[in-house]
Amino acid sequence: MARHDASATPPRSWAERIAFLVVVIVVVLIAGGLYQDLLDRAHRAYVEQIEETLDTTGQALEAFRQLYDALPATVPPQGKAAAVRSPDPGSANRPGLTTPVAFLPVLPVDYFADPRGGRLLAYHVHEGEWLLYSAGPDGHYDIDPERDFLPALFPLPSLILATYDPSNGTASTGDLWRASPRLATAPPP
């Protein structure tokens, strides 16, 4: 007499196995979509934060200009992007954005250029006008201020082409930037 094991599961048919596989695939796709949505939201939040920082820093630069009738000097290049300079924070002997008058409590950080917060927003002065820019979500500087920022010809097509456009995807190429309000109010949409 054959013994029947009650704990054994009956063999599954091919249809049941395929249905189970389809359910697993759907769950994985939904989880992947949620993960991508979270990443997109994080990128959008960083973009909004950097745009707000660019606006605030631009206002500080204009307040500095109004008080001192000049723009802050630039500090030496930082890290890998040797051509990228930042506003001078200042010292007791030399005015800057944070000292002796605190136009900003601290110099603005570009989290796209260095997620650890070790790189400041890029800053360029030419012909008495300024350009502030961030590496953008791709983490690479697309703007070359010597080539792309000439106030007499503002805005150059190369600057517009190097501008971040969220319609190309949240992590697409391009930089976020602001220029002296005497030149433009904002980068093109």
pLDDT for 43-79, tens place per residue? 788 888 899 999 999 999 999 999 999 888 887 655 5
DSSP letter assigned to residue 167:
G
pLDDT, tens only, 95-108: 888 888 888 888 88
Average pLDDT over residues 36-41: 72
In a domain? residue 52 = yes
- Note down the domain range covering 65: 14-179
Residue 2: inside a domain, yes or no? Answer: no
Nearest-angstrom CA–CA distance, 127 and 173? 28
Q: Alpha helix (H) ranges present in 69-165?
A: 145-148, 157-161
What pLDDT score does 60 carry? Answer: 92
56 belongs to a structural domain:
yes
8 occurs within a structural domain: no
Give a yes or no: residue 31 inside a domain. Answer: yes
Does residue 90 fall inside a structural domain?
yes
pLDDT for position 54: 92
User: What are the DSSP E strand ranges found in the chain?
Assistant: 74-75, 86-87, 122-126, 129-134, 176-179
Q: Which of 1-5, 112-116, 167-171 has the lowest mean pLDDT?
A: 1-5
**Number of structural domains, the chain?**
1
115 confidence band (pLDDT: 50, 70, 90): confident
Check residue 189 and give its pLDDT: 46
pLDDT above 70 for 11: no
* Residue 187 included in any domain: no
> Does 94 fall in a domain?
yes
Confidence (pLDDT) at 59: 93
